[in-house]
Amino acid sequence: MKVLVVGGGGREHAIIRKLKEGHPDLEILCAPGNGGISADAECVAVSAVDVEGMVALAKDRQVDFVCVTPDDPLALGMVDAMKSAGFAAFGPDQAAARIESSKVFAKNLMKKYGIPTAGYEVFDDPAKALDHIRTVNRYPAVIKADGLALGKGVIIAMNESEAEAALQHLMVDRAFGESGSRVVIEEFLSGTEVSVLSFTDGKTIVPMVSSMDHKRVNDNDEGPNTGGMGTIAPSPFYTAEIADRCMKEIFLPTMKAMAAEGCPFSGCLYFGLILTADGPKVIEYNSRFGDPETQVVLPLLEGDLLAIMRACASGSLKPDMAAWKEAACACVIEASGGYPGSYEKGKVISGLDEAGQHEGVTVYHSGTKKENGKYLTNGGRVLGISATGKTLAQALATAYEGVKEITFDRMHFRHDIGQKALKGNNA
Ligand code: AMP
Ligand code: GLY
């Protein structure tokens, strides 16, 4: 059996490790992959957004199954292209991927089917958008670009001048191109954020263990938003009672709504939730595994990931295919100094072997390359040091033992991953 994994970050590394755990003999290609992934899979230099190139690779290497994980190729219809070429593929088709690639689509879906989310209005004219914000006159105001924007399309404006600047940036300067031609302006929700990834084949939905991301770059949730600086699983705030409520009010209704709209979702559907005083509400959907959520969720999976992915693709998913370890997992991201702004690449990384020798630690590579036997930094987020433990406190202590072993010039990481969860306080 030969599998092609599309992408090249820590998330893909975690998926590949889990696939191998269930099937040590599985042949895995990863395109484009990265330095660290090359130790676990054959990396092929095809860009993740090159749909034709990826189909050609699948044909050339006669793969049996394709797993498309990043948001851009999903939005470009890579799964549709693979299926048309006769390949079984994990991931939503282009129509279903709109749940992430268009915030307007997602918000309208939630409104139509009564799925709890923040109240909102849609605008394609910056002057009307600003008028609306002035009239409502309630801050923070949440402004979201309709399309994909590298995780930077959400701006929380604290006053009118910040709102005006945000609209200028997204709609007039088109910082993210066409993604900013329309914006959603929505109510600010407060509460604890929790992420729930799920497997679904469009008819059955199987939530994974919950997780909690840490999006700001610095300790105490200071500094700009990033793709995620660390994660823990499970989230202690996501109780069994809340999980039941989410299943009834959010997960099942979303899956059914997508089918009713003629675009059933198959793949990994990610629910970004906020636990408000009025109950759980959806902040965002992603059409894919989260990064670095995957690096804490998959280590806790007891089940055959390949079988689950194939069942999602073929419409034969069963709830008992996935079970979850009674344990906790934590992941600390080591990033290049300067990220999420500009940063340098090509710094030599040391201590990788030493970190991996700590029991329970797994080092996932996000942005590395291998040259002359050495690993060099090659991205903003460089490594994810992940550890499992009986308790969250143990998992965190072990992950930070691993973190301490690794050095590279201008390395940056957060020291407080999981602290709010440990204290049971997310104020
Ligand atoms: P997103 O890129 O959609 O995940 O949004 C980035 C972050 O903005 C989220 O993780 C939240 O912290 C915050 N956010 C988005 N929408 C809202 C909202 N309606 N109310 C409060 N915070 C929000
Ligand atoms: N860590 C958040 C995401 O993958 O969107």
- Residue 224 has a pLDDT of 87
Sign of CA dihedral 271, 389, 15, 2: negative
* CB of 293 shorter than 6 A to ligand 2: yes
Report the nearest atom of ligand 1 relative to the CA of 151: 2
Residue 294 predicted with pLDDT over 80 = yes
Q: What is the mean pLDDT of residues 93-102?
A: 97
Q: What angle do CA 163, 168, 169 make, to 5 degrees?
A: 95
- Residue 426 has a pLDDT of 55
Which listed ligand is nearest to 71 at the C-alpha? 2
Strand-pairing partners, residue 167, are none
To test ligand 2's pocket by mutation, which of 216, 273, 286 has the most ligand atoms within 8 angstroms of CB? Answer: 286
Say how many Å lie between the CA of residue 273 and the centre of ligand 1.
9
Enumerate residues 6+ apart whose C-beta is below 8 A from 362: 17, 299, 356, 386, 387
Say how many Å lie between the CA of residue 268 and the centre of ligand 2.
13
Report the nearest atom of ligand 2 relative to the CA of 290: 4
Closest Cα to atom 9 of ligand 1: 283
- Residue 152 has a pLDDT of 82
Report the nearest atom of ligand 1 relative to the CA of 272: 4
- Residue 427 has a pLDDT of 47
Domains 2-93 and 125-181 share a fold: no
- Residue 130 has a pLDDT of 94
Q: Which residues of 343-361 are buried (b: 16+ CB within 10 A; e: fewer)?
A: beeebebeebeebeebebb
* CB of 146 shorter than 6 A to ligand 2: no
- The residue to which tokens 């100094």 are assigned: 337
**Residues 179/196, Cβ–Cβ less than 8 Å:** no
Say how many Å lie between the CA of residue 198 and the centre of ligand 2.
14
* Architecture (CATH level 2) of domain 2-93: 3-Layer(aba) Sandwich (3.40)
Enumerate residues 6+ apart whose C-beta is below 8 A from 373: none
**Residues 311/267, Cβ–Cβ less than 8 Å:** no
pLDDT in tens, 114-138: 999 999 999 999 999 999 999 999 9
To test ligand 2's pocket by mutation, which of 282, 293, 414 has the most ligand atoms within 8 angstroms of CB? Answer: 293
Measured between alpha carbons, how far is residue 386 from residues 169, 223, 296, 359, 395 in Å? 36, 23, 7, 11, 8
Strand-pairing partners, residue 381, are 335
Residue 382 predicted with pLDDT over 90 = yes
Pairing type for strands 216-218 and 374-377 reads: unpaired
* CB of 213 shorter than 6 A to ligand 2: yes
Q: What is the mean pLDDT of residues 61-81?
A: 98
The beta-carbon contacts of 396-400 under 8 Å, at least 24 apart in sequence, are 396/232, 396/330, 396/422, 398/330, 398/358, 398/359, 398/360, 398/361, 399/330, 399/331, 399/332, 399/361, 400/332
Judge residue 84's burial from the number of C-beta atoms within 10 Å of its C-beta, 0-12 exposed, 13-18 middle, 19 or more buried: exposed
Residue 185 predicted with pLDDT over 60 = yes
Closest Cα to atom 4 of ligand 2: 290
- Residue 46 has a pLDDT of 98
Report the nearest atom of ligand 2 relative to the CA of 213: 1
Q: What is the mean pLDDT of residues 198-221?
A: 97
pLDDT in tens, 132-157: 999 999 999 999 999 998 878 899 99
Q: Would you state the structure tokens that stand for residue 221, as one six-digit string? A: 């949730």
Residue 112 predicted with pLDDT over 90 = yes
* CB of 100 shorter than 6 A to ligand 2: no
- Domain 125-181: state its class: alpha beta
Q: Which residues of 124-136 are buried (b: 16+ CB within 10 A; e: fewer)?
A: eebeebbeebeee
> What are the sequence ranges of the domains in the chain?
2-93, 125-181
Q: Which residues of 301-313 are buried (b: 16+ CB within 10 A; e: fewer)?
A: bebbbbbbbbbbb
Banded pLDDT at 416 (limits 50, 70, 90): very high
To test ligand 1's pocket by mutation, which of 139, 278, 284, 286 has the most ligand atoms within 8 angstroms of CB? Answer: 284
Say how many Å lie between the CA of residue 154 and the centre of ligand 1.
7
Closest Cα to atom 16 of ligand 1: 283
Banded pLDDT at 339 (limits 50, 70, 90): very high
Residue 425 predicted with pLDDT over 80 = no
Banded pLDDT at 317 (limits 50, 70, 90): very high
pLDDT in tens, 235-255: 999 999 999 999 999 999 999
Pocket of ligand 1 (CB under 6 A): 118, 142, 151, 154, 186, 188-189, 193, 215, 272, 283-284
Q: What is the pLDDT of the chain when averaged over all its residues?
A: 96
Q: What is the mean pLDDT of residues 82-91?
A: 98
